[in-house]
Structure 1
């Protein structure tokens, strides 16, 4: 363990000498451990130190940590955040591996396993990578953890030093080479594309704004260049092909029935083009062609990806969805049913389907049509004439023989009532709304041409109301109305089937639910957040049976079964917890704080907190005084006592039944839970602190507190002298309910006692503030960085006290949790 006592710089230097001494060692921005090789041209000029030439060939980018007690996956996530924040992948050739190491271990993962992470929609890369407490860090950790666990190669120096050396010798090409060009691989093709956008794109003589609106994208010109030899594209079925000094776009039939070509030339006689491609070897090795074509989505610019809102369906869920279709429709369903994927992208949903005579795939972009046709020569089991360009939200159902876009045989199936009963619409439609997250924050604009400006929206918006802004809802409603009696197998967010904003949609969509499974959203590329995505099967020929919930099988990111899960459907009669608390929000005088009331589901629980004054977020806040304190503690406790997971992310908290009103033990548990929860953010610096649960004598403070409100309230609560249920509201009884004396439950008393020990220790400090709040005490011992409280403290005794308190708080939470369901705050 010779590395244990080394500081970080010394550790990096020593590791480099022990394992990487035959390689170049440098730094790229804040990636401070980079292993690379020199590229030397035929004149002997070394490009290694001339980073602007982009001829630095990295083999490894790594994150280093001194010491041994580090979560290697957290180190990887910090590195990924660093790369994403600095856009290193767009400035320099990506490496074969990224890595993370400390004084005990070194781990590697191939770059191509994580490169899709850098192309997420609406992810905030501007946070500090070293701050592991940010929402973005935790979000990225959740997104990456499973793929890191599955693909990381880990070596411990003590046990595996020789294995590590062998791994490096085998996988790191240390030959300096005398090549003047760089090979394009599945690791670096996205980087080459980013450079191509800067150098070659401006010289292509086309109006890109108009071209993009017509779904003619930069990616298709790049593929035409990349998959070429001697200035001629090798793939004639690409939507754009290179022909010497010009590009040819996909052929079309003009009004006279003649085949016409659309040509695009260069505005600089290919000067920039030739200079750019002189650096790279093209075409890539043929083993990479299918991968690069199949992942064209990684070459689509972020604004286009956001506008379209579509996602690449992972193969694990493609296989699972086809398994479920088999369970519902029978073993021979692929022979007995027709299949139409009307938002097919590049056809990855069709992988595994066997009977190509019965499969049709349509997609919005001509380029994707051409890619699918190309992939049919590489194993995609489709007939070329069953692949067609079709804008499902705008185009009419007109057969090709009558000037439309739909193949005649599919048109016959769609319009024949008997054949239609044997049609499966099998889709993963876009999950996009009319506005993006940027719109909500005021940094963006509505996405034009996505939801508002299409025929389906205009036709059905009066039926769907708010749901009409959701693209997936538009797809399903058009299918339901215009292709009746078919079967739908659809990937979607669960809000379609349970959310209050989709009540009108569900009232109109009267199909029979057959089967569903749900999986974590972050297993899909470009999807951030932690929520369930479901694949559900519906029979449109039968009416839905009345049920307050849908039952789904749930699977983790590796495809392992978790449990059966109920997802409850909200209807017009459902009252959520926020209207309930608003009826109780009657405090006018002697306000001691405010509680934020965010959207009533698990996904927004992080915003739920107790504050001295209203915050700046556009949210509801309830006022807290003696009359409303206990009820507010119930609101906070029932929302926070159950752990937020991806499975319960969209579960709605509801107005309860009446049984909680006479359960004094439950009320006391909630009161104590709120006082010692980390979301209690009362600060003495922002006004009088009324939230000290103890007396001066209890904590050993020789100065008087400015307020003894809370310790007196606790005493009065236990004596039955406080009003638990405020008067003058509709949802709670107007008659007086006796507040009988009660002792705290053992679990609540244990939390109270652990809190008392913490307060005593704090007041033994020479700089203790007599009016310190729970938040102040934690800040005192833990300190802060960049305005945020640190997660740990160097004070071992404090760490012992706060750990004990948190453990007892978890036990109290487990005592409260069953009551959340018993009293109807959540359905079970």
Structure 2
């Protein structure tokens, strides 16, 4: 990885080491490599640029390196002495290879310059003007005897400032003066953005972070050609430009080929000041001119376009290749919430109307998908789209129809990063920047996307499968059809009845065992997955019956055991490509019985819509014959045990040969259950609605925990269940419930 430390000079030595071998070499021997931007320095260390590797292998200096076998005592001692010598401070002082200031790093250099020399600038021009003068050798006169520096500005005026020479010399011992006029011109074009922060950012913290805008420019360079922005063959259009954070790191030479439109007039005025050579204008891309774009050639009148004539002319020029570079608005229209916090109606635009006409499916609710829909319709075939967005349009089941019909193009290159890099975002999910070639169809079932850390450094690669609707786990088996005439109380959790919903979702059937909420199909929604003893009011809930029991509870375990991270948040759970073993089913069921998302309960005399119901716990795990022999400190429950029947899960468990890990969980659970019954006279069981012998795991663990009973036993059970989960976890990927997701280096 290229050395980019701002405050420090380039080290005199490079040390290479792993646990077995090491080498040390003078840095200046490799100057033709680390100063060469033809290599891809964005790649993670685990996957370096193949061209760089090839050149280093063929480099004569490489063969001269002495590689120390540091596991051998004599070799280790020799390496240690050489390393101590290399760390001699005098070596660093004598090394004259200075860092170059350019259009890419000047902002960081300026911040460093302000901390060292800035305090001596006490009046006159902006600090950025002094900086621009200072980085040009012929614009400064240094009077060391009197500790003064004369700065000459672009307007030919000059100012003299008293500067402590030790600080001045320290800064310029690290950096070299800028000699190239084009570099000075590029930095000059961006000067205002250095010191006028409020104008430059204009609430830009809610827009694209500058470091990721810079990284995106690097990816454009990889996909297109070196200095593509100079050739005149390309035009750039950002139709959601905001305050121009995306374009901040575009070279100034590209501005004459740049179009920037934004929703608000005040932002357009700001853009005109910051990008004076670009074409900047106020424009509502999801509403303005939409009827002209989608009905081109059939209008009975001459359109009254809001798009600038110059832009329309260039859109019709077949010799121009378009680069759409955009971070579109991100919002999803949702159903109204009682607290008024939903985004209902946010997607109601003219583009959405056109998407309706073209059967674009649920994607029409996503504003970024609306941008994509118009872009594909409006732009010439010879175009590229580089967009910041979530991954929804790639692998969400609701977006499959849209992707297949309306956005089936070739992915050239891209990266993703944590959503919280955007100030104000509360979720933990990946945001991607992907470059699509709109002249080529997509032919792959999966894509590779680089992973970037919070600083924008590439650290790995994510493999993302492009699914079909039938691939998702919720389609693994047919869901039992409920009866219109068979109703059970609708529950919002293990204990609470929910009778006021417009959609009550209380239908069941005579052979009903439980209800599993399986909302959505990705990690984002896995937190809502749970098991209830009566119908769940949540969307995505389904009935469990004897015939679907094993797969239903395995689905629960598969969605709950893998730990969610920001990186897998949008990953989809899939139907397995290999039939799971019976041991896997058994393990998943035992794990689920004692997981925190098992909210099964037994409830007595529940009033619901004018009727009284008894909700039994079909997931009680032990046979009555055994339970009757336990110590039970409640006479009513002892009496109930004499006249009832075994529950479904107890019968199921008694018929199966369980693994050692699953048996260990059941034995720890039995200890907890025994303590529960032996402690009934010490607990306020009414709070947890414990009135029957077949109390649910939700009731038992909560009641015991509230009274600080069986604390150690509950911990031991949790540990055993975690061991069982660790056994199940690799099988989830092996059977194909999750796509393989390779990551290199550390996240």
SS at match of 2:479: helix
Match of 2:596 among 678, 684, 688: 678
Q: Deviations over 1:337-362 (max 9, x none)?
A: 43221110111111111122332211
Q: Distance in 2 between matches of 1:442 and 1:370?
A: 36
Task: Find the structure with the greater CA-based Rg.
Answer: 2
Deviation per residue, 1:2-30 (Å, 9 max, x gap): xxxxxxxxxxxxxxxxxxxxxxxxxxxxx
- Partners of 1:444 and 1:319 lie apart in 2 by 34
Deviation track 1:251-282 (CA, whole Å, cap 9, x = no partner) reads xxxxxxxxxxxxxxxxxxxxxxxxxxxxxxxx
CA 1:749–1:352 in 2, change beyond 3 Å: closer, same or farther?
same
Identify which of 698, 702, 709 aligns with 1:775.
698
Q: Matched residue of 1:542: which SS?
A: strand
Equivalent position SS for 1:527: coil
Q: Say if 2:618 and 2:648, in contact at 8 Å, map to a contact too.
A: no
Cα separation, partners in 2 of 1:335 and 1:812, compared to 1, 3 Å: farther
Note if contact 2:517-2:539 (Cα within 8 Å) is conserved in structure 1. Answer: no
Distance 1:633 1:511, change over 3 A: closer
1:418 aligns with 2:341: no
- SS of alignment partner, residue 580 of structure 1: coil
Indicate the residue corresponding to 1:511 in structure 2: 409
* Correspondence for 1:691: 619
Q: Do residues 596 (structure 1) and 517 (structure 2) align? A: yes
Q: Is residue 637 of structure 1 aligned with residue 554 of structure 2? A: no
Per-residue CA distance 1:312-333 (angstroms, 9 max, x = gap): 1122322222222222224423
- What TM-score, normalized by structure 1, do the two folds share? 0.53
1:651 equivalent to 2:651? Answer no
Equivalence for 2:329: 430
Distance apart, 1:535 and its partner CA: 0.7
The DSSP-based 3-state class of the residue aligned with 2:440 is: coil
Question: For residue 256 of structure 2, what is the aligned residue in structure 1?
Answer: 357
Q: CA deviation at 1:418?
A: 1.8
Aligned counterparts of 1:634 and 1:536: Cα–Cα separation in 2: 35
**1:455/1:581 CA distance change after superposition, 3 Å:** closer
1:158-197 CA-to-partner distances (Å, cap 9, x unmatched) read xxxxxxxxxxxxxxxxxxxxxxxxxxxxxxxxxxxxxxxx
8 A contact 2:516–2:536 mirrored in 1: no
Tell me, what secondary structure is at the counterpart of 1:340? strand
Q: CA deviation at 1:633?
A: 1.5
Match of 2:198 among 264, 278, 292: 292
1:288-687 matches, cutoff 5 A: 290-294=196-200, 296-297=202-203, 311-336=206-231, 337-354=234-251, 355=253, 356-374=255-273, 376=274, 382-383=275-276, 386-396=279-289, 405-407=306-308, 409-419=310-320, 421=321, 423-433=322-332, 435-436=333-334, 439=336, 443=340, 451-454=347-350, 457-458=353-354, 461-483=357-379, 484-506=381-403, 507-544=405-442, 546-559=443-456, 561-571=458-468, 573-574=470-471, 576-578=473-475, 580-583=477-480, 588-589=509-510, 591-624=512-545, 626-657=546-577, 659-660=579-580, 663-686=581-604, 687=615
560 and 456 in structure 1: CA distance in 2 versus 1, 3 angstrom threshold: same
Cα RMSD between the aligned structures? 3.5
Q: Contact 1:361 / 1:388 at 8 angstroms: preserved in 2?
A: yes
Contact 2:256 2:277 in 1 (8 A): no
- Report the alpha carbon displacement of residue 804 of structure 1 after superposing the two structures with TM: 2.5
Residues 805-820 of structure 1 aligned to structure 2 (within 5 Å): 805-820=717-732
Q: Which deviates further from its counterpart, 560-569 or 342-351?
A: 560-569
- How do 1:772-811 and structure 2 match up within 5 A? 772-783=695-706, 795=708, 798-811=710-723
> Which residue does 1:827 correspond to in 2?
739
Rounded Cα–Cα distance in structure 2 between residues aligned with 1:287 and 1:328 = 28
Q: Deviations over 1:112-147 (max 9, x none)?
A: xxxxxxxxxxxxxxxxxxxxxxxxxxxxxxxxxxxx
Question: Could you list the runs of 5+ residues in structure 1 that have no partner in the other structure?
Answer: 1-285, 299-309, 377-381, 721-741, 784-792
| Match of residue 177 from structure 2 | none
Q: Give CA-to-partner distance per residue, 1:417-469, whole Å, 9 cap, x none.
A: 121x2x21100011223x245x2558478755x54332574277415233233
- Per-residue deviation, residues 65-91 of structure 1 (Å, max 9, x unmatched): xxxxxxxxxxxxxxxxxxxxxxxxxxx
Could you tell me how far 1:294 is from its partner in structure 2? 4.6
Confirm or deny: 8 A CA contact 1:472 1:492 kept in the other structure: yes
Cα separation, partners in 2 of 1:716 and 1:346, compared to 1, 3 Å: closer
Deviations 1:776-803 (A, max 9, x none): 22222333xxxxxxxxx8x3x7443323
Query: Scaled by the length of structure 2, what TM-score is found?
Result: 0.58
Structure 2: gaps (5+ residues): 1-191, 293-302, 484-507, 605-614, 686-692, 741-747
Distance 2:660 2:629 in 1: 19
Asked if structure 1 preserves the Cα contact closer than 8 Å seen for 2:477 and 2:551, the reply is no
| 1:497 CA displacement | 1.7
> What's the CA shift string for 1:534-579, capped at 9, x where partnerless?
11001112222x2212221223445454532222223355454246
Q: Is the 8 A contact 2:236 2:324 kept in 1?
A: yes
Structure 1 residues 674 and 710, CA, compared in 2 at 3 Å: closer, same or farther?
Answer: farther
* Segments of 4+ moved more than 6 angstroms: 286-289, 584-587, 707-712
